Amino acid sequence: MPPPAGSNVGQSVFRLYSQGASMEDWCMLDPFKGGVNSCAGFNSSHPLIIINHGWSMDGMMESWVFRLSSAFRQSLPEVNIVVTDWLALAHQHYPIAVQNTRAVGQDVASLLRWLQDQYKLSPKRVHLIGYSLGAHISGFAGSHFRGSEKIGRITGLDPAGPLFEGMSPVDRLSSDDADFVDAIHTFTHERMGLSVGIKQPVAHQDFYPNGGNFQPGCDIHNIYDHITEYGLMGFEQTVKCAHERSVHLLIDSILNRDQRSVAYACKDNSAFEKGKCLDCHRNRCNTLGYDTRRVHNGAAGKKLYLKTGSRMPYKLYHYQFKVRFTNHLKRIKPSLTIALTGTKEESGELPIHFKEEICGNRTYTFLITLDRDIGDLMMLTLQWKGMALWKNMWDRMQTILPWGSMADTPQLTVGRITVKVGDTQKRQVHFCPGEK
């Protein structure tokens, strides 16, 4: 059906991704002409992925679109990949581009209805992926789609914040827009009262890598790395690095499916930073990215947190340590390090950051992350300012070496250490029998 006269509906262009060909040569699917408009590469028996880009400052299709499409083709050959080209409506002042997202969402819904009519494509086999403004386009497409079934899945990649934060679910991406909605929030840091990405949860499962604020490798001092990788576009890449990290985390999850990043439900990032939330019981953890498990029990808007590295593969291994100090002492903030030895390799010394001053007869929890799998834990060494405080071989009797020999020196005695490995959910409990 032709779009209404005088509206922006119907201006979107849908291109079927073709490996190795320039975008201008990709076959176009046109739901507005009516009748069968077939593309030789479209297979109605395969699932459909539709990629929706965001706001455009230069009117050019961003390189991540091609990287993501190529990753899907490389890992999932039996899937249809369609890119929504709405550059003409996206290359506007931001508030105007925001207004245009509703029209583009209607266009995507029209495409889905047309594919359903012409190819008998089930909406359950449709996965909409939208970055920034494209995330809300995906949401509007889901809400505009009318039929007996909802769209199968929507993934929001750092959904845009300005003019969407705090809006009602009908005015942004929400968990109502598909059978399953997941979102990755990577740049919710506020500038002048606004955040680039939306802070509030908008999905069934909302992932906040590194707290959803700044991302590793995206600080201004990384500009030289970006210039080396992207050339003259390096400065622009530094500016949008954290926002676009959401896309690259998804690409990573497609290409490195043997190194899946796991995220954990937690009330907020502060609690997660203290290592209190590495629990997978009752669906309290999930895989980040393409292989996210569809979880429908409980209310929508579950927040999940994880740490990631600065480069692909982004996976980090999470360890929860609970340490009980048994002796009475004044509140102090010691400089502690811990070293782990596994069946595969050693971690080296890692700093322990306490969020508060510590005292005796209390248990403190903290989080340690590693960028590699060291295997099953065999030994740990806890040190205070370079002097051994506690050392343990898992299969031997443990000893304790309190720091300091002078009467006026603070004494710190470890009574118990509990270690939990996030990825395997293994828990090891060890007690110290006494001083040596």
Please tell me whether residues 323 and 404 are part of one structural domain. yes
Domain stops at, among 255, 281, 306: 306
Residue 286 lies in a domain: yes
* Rounded (5°) CA angle 297-133-306: 45
In a domain, 6, yes or no: no
Domain-located, residue 37: yes
Query: Does the pLDDT value for residue 101 go beyond 90?
Result: yes
Average pLDDT over residues 272-299: 89
Q: Of residues 107, 158, 182, 206, which has the active-site annotation? A: 158
* Average pLDDT of the residues in 81-85: 98
d(CA 258, CA 22): 31
Poorest-confidence range of 108-122, 212-226, 339-353?
212-226
Tell me what percent of the residues of the chain surpass a pLDDT of 90: 59
For β-strands 377-384 and 387-393, DSSP reports them as: antiparallel
Q: Which of 306, 328, 351 is the C-terminal boundary of a domain?
A: 306
Q: Which CATH number is 330's domain given?
A: 2.60.60.20
Is 299 in the same domain as 327?
no
Residue 75 and residue 203 share a domain: yes
Question: Would you state the pLDDT for residue 397?
Answer: 31
Q: Is 192 helix (H, G, I), strand (E, B) or coil?
A: coil
pLDDT, averaged across the chain: 85
Asked if residue 260 belongs to a domain, the reply is yes
Contacts 24+ apart (CB under 8 A), 3-8: 3/32, 3/107, 3/110, 7/103, 8/89, 8/100, 8/103, 8/104
Domain tally for the chain? 2
Within-domain flag for 1: no
Co-location of 131 and 251 in the same domain: yes
Identify whether 204 is a catalytic site residue.
no
- Asked, as a colleague might, if the bond just before 313 is cis with ω within 30 of 0, I would say yes
**Where does a domain end: 250, 282, 306?**
306
Contact 405, 312 (CB under 8 A): no
Active site residue 25: no
pLDDT of residue 393: 53
Would you list which residues are annotated within the binding site for Ca(2+)? 172, 177
- What pLDDT digit, counting tens, does each position of 291-312 carry? 999 986 556 779 999 999 999 9
Beta strand segments in 205-247, E: 205-209
From residue 98, give the alpha-carbon distance in Å to each of 137, 155, 171, 190, 346.
Answer: 9, 19, 11, 19, 50
Do 43 and 163 sit in the same domain of this protein?
yes
> Residues 144, 243, 248, 318: which is the catalytic one?
243
pLDDT: which is higher, 431 or 195: 195
In a domain? residue 197: yes
Higher pLDDT, 225 or 41: 41
Q: Are residues 286 and 357 in the same domain?
A: no
CA angle (152 as vertex; 123, 291 as ends), nearest 5:
140
Radius of gyration of the chain (CA): 25
- Longest distance between any two alpha carbons in the chain, whole Å: 90
pLDDT at 410: 54
Lowest model confidence (mean pLDDT) among 93-107, 151-165, 189-203, 278-292: 189-203
For residue 326, name the pLDDT band (cuts at 50, 70, 90).
confident
List binding-site positions: 172, 177
117 is catalytic: no
Burial 153-185 (b: 16+ CB within 10 A, else e): bbbbbbbbbbbbbeeeeeebbbbebbbbbbbbb
Judge if 341 and 199 occupy the same domain: no
Closest CA to 182 of 63, 263, 270, 267: 263
Query: What integer is the mean pLDDT of 152-178?
Result: 96
Range of the domain at 55: 13-306
**What pLDDT digit, counting tens, does each position of 36-71 carry?**
667 888 999 999 999 999 999 889 999 999 999 999
Residue 4 lies in a domain: no
Query: What confidence score (pLDDT) does residue 223 get?
Result: 52
pLDDT at 106 over 90: yes
CATH of the domain at 108: 3.40.50.1820
In a domain, 421, yes or no: yes
Distance CA 230, CA 234 (A): 5
